Structure 1
């Protein structure tokens, strides 16, 4: 019995030593009948190899392999919105402010939030925007925030109401913050709500959201996914001081949405041929990425083909 036990132990040790705890580099070969196409023509790719997974990147914006891990890129940071003014004629009732040291994340206590707002450092950029002077919506124009892009920013609309006259009603709509890159791509990185933002067909970015907080009096911003609205006193006889803030969550002004590929083969499928239609003239770096994967990790092989798409005569 002792000898049998020893044999079992030795066999187990030998088997463990012989186990391969690595991942073999996969094979992937890609060929194509031609490298020039007309707009709307199908490109036919022939694939062979033993890769478990194959992902296709067309080279179009949003589908470029070189940017599939990119989340940040320095560009020109632009804020835009529309404003509308109703009720009253009080001046200096709305300011646009930026802070880079506000600290209210996760705080639910109203007094603590108010304290955070009043102790933060705010830069007044009201004069960078064009503002409505009537109930008709007016575009703010492009408000350049690039000088604040070294670290995340908090944007704020600060409302003030004064005693002695009817107080203003402000509506802010169509708000967006964009990161415009030198290659002419533009990424929306913030909007009114907390919904996902779609950039070049990729819905993966969530707006930082907004909160409203009244500091003086009970008038406050109504925050929705389409606009921000505040209405002060409509009775000049009872109007008294009012102050309320509408503040964004932190916005990384250098943020971009990572490009993604199209999975054309999974582990359970056989190696397919693949066809793709290019609808816009241009030069594209088509990339196929083959991967092998097991419990010890993964290995990848990358194949690139340059494709030229010519304008159609139609």
Structure 2
């Protein structure tokens, strides 16, 4: 009797395992021909028992071989807008400056780590800095920084070096619309930094923490960028370590105040680290899923001439398993 029970339990377990195992889909795809003109509607004839089907056209951004791609060096370009306010009216000389730098070995965002890191000054790569005092913004060049993409990470920084003169207030600097893209040879691009939130700005004041924002001055503080130090954002604190209200969007400002006897400033605005080679994977189009009714055909038109490797991925899924079959066709698209 006991052996019968064991046999019964084993049979139940085996049956359960088989139910959780997906079946390999039977799948095939054909077209009427292998050459078409750009703009022609191509009909793909689908057959088999696949539950889900995904289509990769082979065009830029839609190539099956790039579906798992996460890193690829391209041409990484940086664009931003700056505004320069107060201080000597150009072309009068001014000792104050806003520098653009990049590091591949920054390990922390405090004064010690910033000083230890190796920084390359790339200020001269931008020819479009503000040339006059104005609240309006100057858009930078599209700055190529791809010579740094061999590193696993980089940090980009704006550094304010303002000097005490006893004659004029120091420069006030404002930055907005900071973006960084990785442009790939296949004409696709991946956004690396596109908005305030994903850039992850951090400020560090290495010189002159005078005139912080306090209750006595209604928290109108000076001499630091108006973002948080490392790990502190507007979601964590209303004010940064200098008592200045933390921004949660552009523009970002370094305000030294109007005191002509303000001490020298050395203040950093630094991005979070990023691998310049970061690339979004190519994606396909869901032709059929396991919920919708099965389709016997799929139609598509190529806009540009070329040779394309078209890929269909047919998949059957169970609760604990998945099996796929890949079918590919090479199509020549004529002008």
Q: After superposition, give the CA deviation of every residue in 1:237-258 in whole Å (9 maximum; x if it has no partner).
A: x432223211100110111111
2 CA distance for matches of 1:226 and 1:40?
43
**What is residue 204 of structure 2 aligned with on the other side?**
213
**What is residue 131 of structure 2 aligned with on the other side?**
133
* TM-score of the two chains, using structure 1 as the length reference: 0.80
Question: How big is the shift at 1:17?
Answer: 4.7
Matches within 5 A, 1:265-304: 265-272=288-295, 273-304=297-328
**Which of the numbers 168, 176, 179 marks the counterpart of 1:176?**
179
**What is residue 232 of structure 2 aligned with on the other side?**
none
Structure 1 residue 101 corresponds to structure 2 residue 105: yes
Contact 1:192 / 1:227 at 8 angstroms: preserved in 2?
A: no
Which structure 1 segments of 5+ residues have no match? Answer: 105-111, 195-206
SS at structure 1 position matched to 2:69? coil
Tell me how many residue pairs correspond in the alignment.
288
* TM-score of the two chains, using structure 2 as the length reference: 0.75
**What is residue 23 of structure 2 aligned with on the other side?**
24
**What is residue 109 of structure 1 aligned with on the other side?**
none
> Which stretch of the first structure deviates more once superposed, 37-46 or 56-65?
37-46
Q: How has the CA–CA distance of structure 1 residues 96 and 121 changed in structure 2, closer, same or farther, with 3 Å as cutoff?
A: same
SS at structure 2 position matched to 1:117? helix
Contact 2:173 / 2:253 at 8 angstroms: preserved in 1?
A: yes
**What is residue 161 of structure 1 aligned with on the other side?**
162
Which structure 2 segments of 5+ residues have no match? Answer: 89-93, 210-221, 227-246
Contact 1:192 / 1:210 at 8 angstroms: preserved in 2?
A: no
Question: How big is the shift at 1:289?
Answer: 0.3
Matches within 5 A, 1:57-72: 57-72=56-71
CA RMSD of aligned residues (A): 2.7
Question: How big is the shift at 1:226?
Answer: 4.4
Q: How has the CA–CA distance of structure 1 residues 192 and 118 changed in structure 2, closer, same or farther, with 3 Å as cutoff?
A: farther
Matches within 5 A, 1:77-92: 77-89=76-88, 90-92=94-96
- Structure with a larger share of its residues in strand: 1
**What is residue 44 of structure 1 aligned with on the other side?**
43
**What is residue 200 of structure 1 aligned with on the other side?**
none
Structure 1 residue 239 corresponds to structure 2 residue 262: yes
**What is residue 253 of structure 1 aligned with on the other side?**
276
1 CA distance for matches of 2:119 and 2:184?
27
Question: How big is the shift at 1:125?
Answer: 2.3
